[in-house]
Structure 1
Amino acid sequence: MIVDEKEAKEGFVKSEVHNHISTILFYHPKGNALPSKLLKKLKEEIDHASHDDNVKVVLLRSVQHDVFCSGAYFNELLEIKDQKAAQTFFMGFAEVIKSMRKCAKLIVARVHGKVVGGGLGLVAAADYAIALEGADVRLSELSIGIGPYVIAPAMVRKMGLSSFSQLAIDAHLWRNSDWARRKGLYAELHPNKASMEESIERLTTSLAKNSHAANTNLKRMFWEDTEDWDNLMQDRAAKTAELLLQDQAQQFLAQFNKSVVF
């Protein structure tokens, strides 16, 4: 995929389809973070793939970087000063997860590096995640003064309440990639990039040859009993927005602002 100078500076979401496989690629120079505009574009690309009759499987990946996704874009959080804007921001993650849940195509995530915060929501909402050793995970939200409320439904569904609570409570601790595999967040964990890419190609090619109806019905079965997520995530985004505007989170962001050169 061709990237111009503006995209390299501001980030992008792109997609292309080959052999019935839609590859959706996202990038941001700050650790593949996801500001609102990229979340919106990511949702649009997932929705488009869902309705594209030429697509049978979706591969979600980010540009090669130390981090697969670092979650919320802190520079944008620094600019939020009211409840409505904060809720709109956190609903950006909710909308992507909702689109992944409702997508008519199976979604495979390629996780090549560390995953933080909201990025874990994307991994959990994928139907199958293939990761590289070193793709360690952390939920940092509680240390900021908020919580991983919006992504919780997807994470609890994928790895269980006990494993999710361990991540959510100890917000300073990185859990290694093998822990994430053992807890069900990753379906596969590979020792090197070549092995990971080989497995991704094998699986996506196989899925692309399957009956579309068979894939779609399997996907629907996976996501049964999640119809209440629309309202649930709206409520969770409102709670996160409320906490973002309280003293602890604002002090954290102020300190972050002082430590970062823009």
Structure 2
Amino acid sequence: MGIKRENGSLYTKIEGKVAHVEFGHPAGNSFVAELLDRLANTFHNLSENPNISVVVLKSEGDRVFCGGASFNELTAITNLEEGKLFFSGFAHVINAMRTCKKPIIGRVQGKTVGGGVGLAAACDYVFASVNASIRLSEISIGIAPLVIGPALERKMGKAAVSELSFSPTEWKNAYWANEKGLFSKVFDTIEEMDKELDFSVSQLAGYNPKALQEWKKVLWEGTSHWNDLLLERAAITGKLVLSEFTKNALSKFKK
């Protein structure tokens, strides 16, 4: 099943007990609000599907994994409500991934920025290619990675998140991300990554789904307050995006 529109695409393909979820957007696989909303709903639906055991999250193409928030939608925000609403999209996706009863395996084939790094952090296990460099660029445009922060911190710890976020123009390579706990495995080629991913996912799908579900619950213990926390963070980010600093930074970027 799939939906393809001007503001992005989202496809779900179920093979046996594995659901493959693929998102895409012409602008570097970035996220518009509607695409975030559809992705959150997809995770909620798959969580309740008794016929699947594992979810694989991937993006279109063989280059960029995710460009983060849509630049056009960021520049179009004119008031606090719109700002909170847009950043709440990332909050809802992370919470949907967190509460999804099935383990989510991420496939990161290339560079990922901002919200895309948060998406990788919300996966339970991540396969990455050597090209999967990461960057948190938020500080450089006058906002901060507030909504995705808890997911990043849970995976990487505060020290690594601090190092990443305070060097917003610097790319960290896939091996750095692996060493810090964001990526589980890094491969020299996409072909090698996909071969190992397929093998591992088919193995996982053959295990007791109840055991996978109970273990995932344990791994996410202590995060139930994220339902409120991430929305509070979305409101703060929505306020920051309206600041003169951010408006100037975005207009320079646009030029």
The answer to whether the aligner puts 1:164 opposite 2:157 as a matched pair is no
**Given that residues 106 and 219 in structure 1 are in contact (C-alpha distance below 8 angstroms), is that contact kept between their aligned partners in structure 2?**
yes
Provide TM-score, normalisation by structure 2. 0.97
Instruction: Report % sequence identity.
Output: 39
1:172 partner SS: coil
**Given that residues 27 and 33 in structure 1 are in contact (C-alpha distance below 8 angstroms), is that contact kept between their aligned partners in structure 2?**
yes
Match of residue 176 from structure 1: 173
**Given that residues 20 and 56 in structure 2 are in contact (C-alpha distance below 8 angstroms), is that contact kept between their aligned partners in structure 1?**
yes
1:108 partner SS: strand
2:176 partner SS: helix
CA distance in 2, matches of 1:180, 1:2: 31
**What is the correspondence of 1:11-30 to structure 2 with a 5 Å cutoff?**
11-30=8-27
CA distance in 2, matches of 1:50, 1:158: 22
Query: Bigger CA drift: 142-151 or 201-210?
Result: 201-210
Q: Note the C-alpha offset of 1:107.
A: 0.2
CA distance in 2, matches of 1:86, 1:2: 28
**What is the correspondence of 1:59-208 to structure 2 with a 5 Å cutoff?**
59-208=56-205
**Given that residues 65 and 113 in structure 1 are in contact (C-alpha distance below 8 angstroms), is that contact kept between their aligned partners in structure 2?**
yes
Q: Note the C-alpha offset of 1:65.
A: 4.0
CA distance in 1, matches of 2:195, 2:176: 22
**Given that residues 134 and 171 in structure 2 are in contact (C-alpha distance below 8 angstroms), is that contact kept between their aligned partners in structure 1?**
yes
**Given that residues 8 and 32 in structure 2 are in contact (C-alpha distance below 8 angstroms), is that contact kept between their aligned partners in structure 1?**
no
Q: Note the C-alpha offset of 1:66.
A: 2.0
CA distance in 2, matches of 1:235, 1:38: 21
Q: What CA deviation, in whole Å up to 9, does each residue of 1:131-186 have, x standing for no partner?
A: 00010000000000000000000000001110011011111111011101111100
Which residue identity lines up with residue 119 of structure 1 in the other structure?
G
Match of residue 29 from structure 2: 32
- Say what the alpha-carbon RMSD is for the aligned residues: 1.3
CA distance in 2, matches of 1:110, 1:43: 18
Query: Bigger CA drift: 10-19 or 37-46?
Result: 10-19
Which residue identity lines up with residue 57 of structure 1 in the other structure?
V
CA distance in 2, matches of 1:39, 1:231: 18
CA distance in 2, matches of 1:42, 1:65: 20
Match of residue 242 from structure 2: 245
Q: What CA deviation, in whole Å up to 9, does each residue of 1:234-254 have, x standing for no partner?
A: 111111111110111011122
CA distance in 1, matches of 2:187, 2:82: 40
Q: What CA deviation, in whole Å up to 9, does each residue of 1:37-83 have, x standing for no partner?
A: 10011111111110101110000000014210010001011111000
Provide TM-score, normalisation by structure 1. 0.95
Structure 2: runs of 5+ lacking an equivalent = none
CA distance in 1, matches of 2:160, 2:187: 21
**Cα separation, partners in 2 of 1:2 and 1:150, compared to 1, 3 Å:** closer
Q: Note the C-alpha offset of 1:2.
A: 7.9
Q: What CA deviation, in whole Å up to 9, does each residue of 1:108-142 have, x standing for no partner?
A: 00000001000011100000000000100000000
Q: Note the C-alpha offset of 1:14.
A: 1.1
Structure 1: runs of 5+ lacking an equivalent = none
CA distance in 2, matches of 1:193, 1:100: 24
**Given that residues 31 and 65 in structure 1 are in contact (C-alpha distance below 8 angstroms), is that contact kept between their aligned partners in structure 2?**
no
Question: How many pairs were matched up?
Answer: 255
CA distance in 1, matches of 2:166, 2:183: 20
Q: Note the C-alpha offset of 1:10.
A: 3.3
2:65 partner SS: strand
Query: Bigger CA drift: 89-98 or 60-69?
Result: 60-69
